[in-house]
Chain A
Amino acid sequence: MGSDGVFPAEMPEHGPALIDALDDNTAERLVRGRVSPDDAPPGYAGVAKVLQAAAGPAVPEELAGQEPALATFRAYGPSSAARARPRGREQARPDGRRRGRPDGRGRVDGRGRGRVVALALAGVVAGGLWTAAGAPSPAGLPSRAGAPQSGGAGSGAPGSLTQARPMTPPVTGAAANARAPVQPPAPPPRLGYPPMQGPHNRAGRVPARPGR
């Protein structure tokens, strides 16, 4: 704030013309720094000096940020875009065929789906074995006859997942009594052979494939 109580930018222009107005050509030369203070029109020597200083060469502190600028260039520049493009596409399309979620979840490709089916079937087999282990075999060993045979691990048979019922653990004790009588489930409809007459079949377990 100036001594007269106003801001410098609000100070009125000087009334009497102490300094001559510039013509366009001289003003242009001044702005371009082509007028030295010694050659400046009367009253404009200081202006020429100030304008030349404002357009002066860089000082070291003005160039101190070059390394961060180069880092920005490396991170976001054209070369980084070229590098990032395949990676981005890979993230966007994890299976190479369709767009998926960025975290890679939600879509399973054909090979993965086969693995899921195989794991489910393995669970079915293990559950069947575990269930069959409860019944005494003729040799006193756990029977394997109750294991599902219609679709082995990795077969990928569409109907194999429908046979997950044998995974249910056997109910014993009071709980078994409370649930009795247990109705044996109907044989799987997709099996085109007559149900076996063995004890496992009567117990409601999955029948084995004929000939086994």
Chain B
Amino acid sequence: MIGPSFEAVLDAAAGGDEAAFGILWRDLQPGLLRYLEALAPGAAEDLASETWLRIVQGLGRFTGDERAFRGWVFTVARHRAVDRWRRRVRRRDELVPADALAGLPAPDDPAGAAVEAISSRAAVALIATLPPDQAEVVLLRVVAGLDVAQVAAITGKRPGNVRVLTHRALRRLADRLGADTRVRGAV
């Protein structure tokens, strides 16, 4: 989060100041990549680039505070991911790059990877193994830093539904990590 200086930074960026735009980009890009990596594994960089292009083009017309700006950025990112998903559905023969697969942890061992390495990438990979709606809600709350109302608006769900999904996700994560710990202890 940029904080109290956000308004000045946004105004400068909207006026064409590269340094100000760099501040916005560095603040949001890591979360954007983590969120998009869970939604579209292997395509996060491309989708983030598309997202920033839209943001740059609409920067001069944006009005709002930092909370609204973050919500806008992740809304655009989600639309990019959904568009890509629709394209993939139409083109079922699209190949997944081998490099992208090699970088991901095995589906049956993300918990161990997250607990041991505890890198942001491993943690996001573990969250991404949750059911898609739970994973997205948790990532928007944790990685993007959005509140319940914003997540509800972005995902098209009710705030109560977002809370329920969050609870289920945390519970499932705890179960998985606990089960992993128990398995490790038994072995």
Residues of A whose CB lies within 8 Å of any CB of B are 1-3, 7-9, 13-14, 18-19, 21-22, 24, 27, 30-33, 43-44, 46-47, 49-51, 53-59, 62-63, 65-66, 68-70, 72-74, 76-82
- The distance from the CB of B136 to the nearest CB of chain A, in whole angstroms, is 13
- Total chain B interface residues with beta-carbon distance under 8 A: 61
Residue B143, interface by CB 8 Å: yes
B107's partner among A8, A30, A47, A63 (CB-CB below 8 A) is A8
B130 in contact with A9 (CB, 8 Å)? yes
- B29 / chain A contacts, CB cutoff of 8 Å: 58, 62-63, 65-66, 69
A46's partner among B166, B167, B178 (CB-CB below 8 A) is B178
A22 vs B123: C-alpha distance in the bound complex, in angstroms?
A: 20
What 5 A-B pairs have minimum CB-CB distances, sorted nearest first? A79-B16, A46-B177, A53-B123, A58-B30, A54-B123
B26 in contact with A66 (CB, 8 Å)? yes
- A30 / chain B contacts, CB cutoff of 8 Å: 170
B179 in contact with A14 (CB, 8 Å)? yes
A54 vs B59: C-alpha distance in the bound complex, in angstroms?
A: 28
Given contacts A14-B175, A63-B26, A78-B60, contact A54 B127 (CB under 8 A): yes
Of B16, B31, B145, most buried by chain A (CB within 10 Å of CB) is B16
B16 in contact with A44 (CB, 8 Å)? no
A76 vs B33: C-alpha distance in the bound complex, in angstroms?
A: 21
Given contacts A77-B16, A78-B16, contact A31 B138 (CB under 8 A): yes
Interface of A is mostly: helix
Q: What 1/0 mask marks residues of chain B from 73 to 117 whose CB sits below 8 Å from any chain A CB?
A: 000000000000000000000000000000000011011001100
- A32 / chain B contacts, CB cutoff of 8 Å: 141
Of A2, A14, A74, most buried by chain B (CB within 10 Å of CB) is A14
29 of the cross-chain contacts (CB-CB < 8 Å) are: A3-B108, A9-B130, A13-B171, A18-B178, A22-B167, A22-B171, A27-B170, A31-B138, A31-B166, A33-B142, A46-B173, A47-B173, A50-B115, A50-B123, A51-B142, A53-B114, A53-B120, A54-B139, A55-B31, A58-B30, A59-B30, A66-B22, A66-B26, A69-B49, A70-B21, A77-B56, A78-B14, A80-B16, A82-B16
- The distance from the CB of A32 to the nearest CB of chain B, in whole angstroms, is 8
Residue B118, interface by CB 8 Å: yes
- A53 / chain B contacts, CB cutoff of 8 Å: 114, 118-120, 122-123
Residue B72, interface by CB 8 Å: no
- The distance from the CB of B142 to the nearest CB of chain A, in whole angstroms, is 5
**What is the count of residue pairs linking A and B with beta-carbon distances less than 8 angstroms?**
155
A58 in contact with B26 (CB, 8 Å)? yes
Residue B7, interface by CB 8 Å: no
B15 in contact with A79 (CB, 8 Å)? yes
- A56 / chain B contacts, CB cutoff of 8 Å: 119-120, 123
A78 in contact with B15 (CB, 8 Å)? yes
A81 in contact with B60 (CB, 8 Å)? yes
Q: Which of B133-172 contact A (CB under 8 A)?
A: 138-139, 141-143, 145, 163, 166-167, 170-172
B175 in contact with A18 (CB, 8 Å)? yes
A8's partner among B57, B108, B145 (CB-CB below 8 A) is B108
